[in-house]
Structure 1
Amino acid sequence: MMGVENEDLPPLCWPDLPDASARSNWYRLVIAAYADSWEGHPSAPRIAPAPEASIAECEARIGCELPEGLARYHREFGALGLSETLCSVSPEGSEPIQPLIDAYPGLAERELSEEEQALAEQMVAFSDYLGNGNMFCFHRETKAVWYFDHDADPALTLFSAHVPDYLDALMLKMLAEVHDEEEKGEALLVEKFGKALVRKWMY
């Protein structure tokens, strides 16, 4: 079981992350603090890095490369059940990284426009928001992050051009839970991503 002492709990703020190493160190501290808050629970996250071969097999299965930030995350941490579930690179996982049209078969019932349908076909789901059908996806070509809403329009909303922005947001959301300051956490997210986007995601 992971765990951190109270003095190691990161403050609830946007950290200065000058490089990938600093980002990974922050993620590790946040994940450890989150796991500590779930100590003894079967769903407490445990770091389990994905082998390089599994990442390569995932990319072959989905027909495109993972965004570098996502691949790096899986190399270091693996699929974790956090406040949202990061999908597994393995097809044997309960929630594998897969094309959106496979992850959400009900997509065909959404009656999307031709433009929306074409965009949806470029989406690869990599994070499941609470298991309610809403998911975070990346675009096969641009690697940008999109939020898929299973029942409200627009079905797809651009979240960020880069996966690390989403992962940073997820870590901050978890950190707010650990600090028991969800309102402050939401305010920090709104500060960076805007109220409309945060409400689309969280409500």
Structure 2
Amino acid sequence: MITIHQKSDIVIPFDKIGDNCWDVKSKLIIESLAENWSNDLKDPISTAAIENLEKRLGTTLPYGLKTFYNTFGIADIGEELQKFDDIIWLKDIWEEDSPYGPEFTKEDKISLPHLISFSDYLGNGNMFCFHNETKEIYYYDHDTRPFITKMFDSIDDYIKGCLIFAQTDLFGEVKQQQVEEWTEDIIEDLFGKDIVKKWRY
């Protein structure tokens, strides 16, 4: 099990999903989180189940996401990956011109028709989505206009970021706040301060 005593103990699981040892390092983090929270590990998801989801959505999932599901299922990565029944086109969550829905900006409406949710950010109504054509990752933030922001070029970066941030809970001889600062430093180095600010604050 991972225990963070110093910044160098934080595991960066991979550059890209599918890289050499990507699954070994990811497994170490996922199993450490499960042990820390006394949770059961999730079963891998079959290729057939993934193909059925793609058929329902009418588009393919990002390669890295399919590979992750095949290997770890809907694992705890520090944020809540959605169950397959809950994965949906973002535009289908609200009826068009609904008085109760968000007032999407012109900028939002460019990407809105292309986005499919796959992760609930801590269950607070914000969601991470992938673009059906480019497979880029966007963040839907229900509190701030524009509501939709491109965050990552690929799903690999999102999952990598989650697995790094999640290690904040695996602190050892140092305070959790210190480990949180270290993980944020690492994510800032990888993706920039603006991404961290939008994602975490």
* TM > 0.5 fold call: yes
Matching residue of 2:112:
120
Structure with more contact order per residue of length (Cα contacts < 8 Å, sep ≥ 6): 2
After the TM superposition, which residues 9-20 of structure 1 pair with which residues of structure 2 at under 5 Å, given as runs?
11-14=9-12, 17=15, 19-20=18-19
Misfit runs of 4+, over 4 Å = 15-19
2:189 pairs with 1:191: yes
Residue 171 of structure 1 deviates from its aligned partner by 0.3
Matching residue of 1:166:
158
Residue 16 of structure 1 deviates from its aligned partner by 5.8
Residue 106 of structure 1 deviates from its aligned partner by 8.0
Name the SS of the counterpart of 2:21 in structure 1.
Answer: helix
The runs of 5 or more residues in structure 2 that have no matched partner are none
- AA paired with 1:157? T
Corresponding pairs, count: 188
Whole-angstrom distance in 2 between the partners of 1:128 and 1:84? 7
Name the SS of the counterpart of 1:83 in structure 2.
Answer: coil
Matching residue of 1:99:
89
- AA paired with 1:105? W
After the TM superposition, which residues 1-203 of structure 1 pair with which residues of structure 2 at under 5 Å, given as runs?
4=1, 11-14=9-12, 17=15, 19-39=18-38, 44-89=39-84, 91=85, 96-102=86-92, 104-105=93-94, 108=98, 109-179=101-171, 180=176, 181-203=179-201
Query: Which whole-Å deviations, capped at 9, do the CAs of 1:116-159 have from their partners, x for residues lacking one?
Result: 22311110001110111111110000000111101202211111
Percent identical = 31
Residue 47 of structure 1 deviates from its aligned partner by 2.4
Query: Which whole-Å deviations, capped at 9, do the CAs of 1:29-62 have from their partners, x for residues lacking one?
Result: 10011111112xxxx2512111111100100111
The runs of 5 or more residues in structure 1 that have no matched partner are none
TM-score by length of 2: 0.84
Whole-angstrom distance in 2 between the partners of 1:45 and 1:106? 37
Contact 1:45 1:81 in 2 (8 A): no
Name the SS of the counterpart of 1:119 in structure 2.
Answer: helix
Contact 1:87 1:126 in 2 (8 A): yes
Whole-angstrom distance in 1 between the partners of 2:11 and 2:24? 15
Instruction: Pick closer, same or farther for the CA change 1:105–1:16 going to 2, 3 Å.
Output: closer
